[in-house]
Chains A and B, each alone.
Chain A
Amino acid sequence: MTYDRKQDEFRLDVLKELGNIGAGHATTALSRLLGNKKLTLVVPQAMIVGMQESMGLCGGPESLVGAIYIRVSGGLCGHMALLLPFTSVQSLLGYLLGATPQEFSDMELSTLQEVGNIVVTSYLNALAEMTNTVLYPSVPAVAVDMAAAVWSSILAGAEVADYITIVQTGFQTDAEIIDGTIAFIPDEEDLAKLLEALGMGEL
C-alpha cells in the first residue's frame, strides 16, 4: 500500500485520535484496577516507522520489560501489546499482590497477564464501538525479558514488512510509579478497512 504524504499525515491524525480514545478507556480501566489511582494519559502518537526505529519505542534494547500481547481478529485484524518497564511491572504487581516480586512465578505472570487483558480489551472496546465492528481478542500472552527480544518477537508474529503503522500511547501516575506503552499494529490489509470504517476510506 502506498500513500502520498498529505494522505499519510491525515490518516495518522485519525489513527492518533483513535489511539487517544482507546487509551483513554484503557487508562480508566487501569486506574480502577489500582483503586482509582490517578493516571495521566500521555498524548498518543501515530506513526509509520521502520522496524529498526521501532526497537527504541520501549526503552533501551537490552532493558528488562514486561509485555502482554494480544492478537485481534474479527472486523479488523491486528496486534496489540502493552509494554511496561520492569520497575513499572514491579510497582504494579506490588500494588496488586501486596509485595514487590523478587522473581516471577505463575502467580506474578498471570497477574500481569490479567492487567494486560483488562487494559488492552478496554482499548479494543473503544475501537470496536467507534468502527462499529466486532473485535475478538485472543488469550493474552505474557513475557518478561529484554525489550528488543520481546518487541521483535511480536513483530515476527505479526509478520510485519519493513514499515509498521503503529499507534502508541502511554500513561503515568503523578508519582511516576507506573508508565507504560500501548501499541496497536493494524494488519496492513486491514488498515484501509479501519480508515473506511471511520469514514476516511475515500480520501
Chain B
Amino acid sequence: MSQITFNDVSCTLGKFELININAIINSGEFFVLLGPTGAGKTILLEAIAGFHTITGSIMIGDKDITDLVPEKRNIGFGFQDYTLFPHLTVEENIRFGLKYRNISSAQADRRVRELIAISKLEGFEQRKPDTLSGGERQRVTLARALVIQPEVLLLDEPLSALDEQTKEVLRDEIHRIISTFNVTTIYVTHDQTEAAMLGDRIGIMMKGCMIQVGTPTEIFYQPVNEEVAAFVGMENILEGLVTSSEEGITTINVNGSNLHVISTYDTQKTKTVRVCLRPEDIILSQTAVKTSARNLIKGTVTRLSPYGTLIRVQVDCGYPLTVIISRRSMEDLHLEVGSVVYASFKASTVHML
C-alpha cells in the first residue's frame, strides 16, 4: 500500500499523448481515472507499469520507479481485454507471478488458495480461461494481479466488455475484493456511474491532460470547466449576465429570465458567465408550487425522449433546460409536447463555471 506521485509526466505515443501530468494518489485510495476514449487514461496506466518511456517521474511510496523495468515494479495490472494465459489453467494463471517471488511453494499454495476463495473461484481451478464467462475471467485476472501482493493495483476498464447485469454484480465484487487487500488502486473507466460508485476520488483526463481531481461530489457538481461539465452529464450549461451579487446570492440574467446561484461574484469583473446544472436536480410541476427552491420558472415542453428507464424532458423557459424525470412522473404530470410546466431548482445546485 503506497502513495503514487506523478511529477510532470509526459509521453508521446503515436497519436496519443500525456501532457504534464501532476497528481498524487493517496496510499490505499481507490482512485478512478475518468475520461472519454482517447484521453490517454490507458497510456497513463501503462506508463506506471513501465511499458512506455516518459519524461518527468513517477514515484511509488518514496521510490522513484521511472527507470525500472516492468517486472521490478511490483504492480498488479488488470487489462481491459482478457489477458489470461490461454494455455494455462485458472490456478496456473493465478500462480504465474509467484514463481518470480521469493516465497516457498507452501506459501505460494496458501496464497493461491486464499485468492481463489476470496474471488469465489472454487471449482474453476483446473479450467482453461476460454471455458469461463466474461465475469469469471475478470475475477481470475484480478486474483492473478493481487496474488503477488502488489504495492499498486491498476485496472483498465475491467467491466467494459460485460453485459449490464454482470457489470453491476462484478463492480461490487471488485470493490469487495480490493477492499480486503487495502491496496492503492487506479481504476480506468469512461463510465460515470462506475466512477461515482467506486471512486474515493476521481481524476478527469481529457486530451492527455489531468483536468480535475476531486471527490465524486466535486467532480459531478463542481466541474472546473465546460468540457468537464458536459462530460460528467451537466446537460444544462447556460450563459448569462451577472446583474447583482449580494449576501452570497448571485443573480444572473439568462435570456431575460433571472437565475439565482449561491455564489459571491465580483461584479467589477466581466459580467458574462456560464453556469451549469444537472438535469436530475430540476423538479417539474404543473403549478407554481412554493418550495424552498429559489429558482422557479415557467416553460413549455418541447421534447420528450426516453433515457434508459427514465425520461429526458426538454423545456423552453426562455432558455433551454433539460430535465430528467421518471416515467411515472411524466404520466402523473400528463406531460406532452406543448404542455406548460414549472421548473424549480435550488440555487445551491447551480454551479458557476
Q: Do A and B come from one complex?
A: no
